[in-house]
Amino acid sequence: MSGGVDSSVTAKLLTDKDYDLSAVFMRNWDTRDESGSDHGCEWEKDWEDVRRVCGVLDIPCKMVDLSREYWTRVFEPSLKSWESGITPNPDVWCNKEVKFGALLDHLTEDPGLSNTPWLATGHYANKDWKYHNGVPRPRLLRPRDVTKDQTYYLSSVPERSLSRAIFPLGSIKKTEVRELAVKWNLPTAARQESMGICFVGEKLKFNDFISQYIPPKPGPIIDLETGLQVGEHAGPWNFTIGQGAKVRGLKEKTFVVKKDIPKNIIYVVPGTDHSALYAQSLTIRDWTWIWADSPPIELMRPGGLKARIKFRHVMSDIGCSVYSDNDCIRIDFDEPQKAIAPGQVATIYIEDWCLGCGTIVEVA
């Protein structure tokens, strides 16, 4: 449980089932950072909300401190990515490495549990079982409420962990979740959704946070069309592809189109619809199929695998062809796509079935 309304309603739904139920709160970030300040996830308040809800539902709860695992498996790799100028997605890897990794391992090794634990979360996702070569295997599916679809964030979770996952909100819309929370008088019924990266928190700007870990590295901002310097940046990690550059003194707004990391240059173009912002294909490395031993055979065929792709959480999936390209996956879009950032996660689907994900390394 996170202390939010989604996990609170999830817990209430499970109390009506025949489960041996207990709640677990993950502490993933130590708010007392190296600078000695207190910010980031307000875990104390979240933990208090979890305890209040569990008190109302009469279920036991405990806190598990996974801040060390989060630091080494999620934050440090993300920090290296930002420093190298690419744009990682730590929330995707948190689910694989921490929630459905370290936490599930911790619960499995708990001597107080007599049976193998299942992990229920408040994610908006569905799961079913499909026979493959005579064996039932779990499939990650989109939820009923497609506007809250969180399969993108779950796309790195391996099959062995997915097989032990339960998603009670998969068939419920967000508006209905709110209504149920009010109906059941849950203490978190009016709590707003949390936004942004967990360790940054909601009161601190990302650039201010990351500057505590990465020293400034000033460099030029150059207009791609004219080749002229139009401004200066404090470090390439402060920008992502497609982001407004906020260059003072220019009549037209400019947007980041490219980064030259070795030369520490940010390139910009005028307008939000410049042709240089669009790409027809991308290359992905470290691709992970949820069914790791059973990649689709269509990848090796001339026409590739016809699928749908998302390379951001907040976007509609789009048509594409997927090919195996040596140790990488190549994606060709049905139509050109805008503002694709290396380092981000790309996820592919066949209809509602999420097959897996990988990290974007090249855009063309």
Give the residue numbers marked as catalytic: 94, 198
Query: In terms of DSSP bridges, do strands 278-289 and 353-363 run parallel, antiparallel, or are they unpaired?
Result: antiparallel
The total of other beta-carbon atoms located within 10 Å of residue 109's CB is: 8
CA 212 to chain centre: 23
The set of long-range contacts for 314-323, using a CB threshold of 8 Å and a minimum separation of 24, is: 317/349, 320/348, 322/296, 322/298, 322/348, 323/299
Helix ranges restricted to H, the chain: 5-15, 43-57, 67-70, 76-83, 90-94, 103-108, 151-154, 159-162, 174-183, 206-210
d(CA 217, CA 210): 13
Please state whether 72 falls in left (phi above 0), alpha (psi between -120 and 50) or beta: alpha
d(CA 19, CA 43): 27
Token pair for residue 53? 């809800």
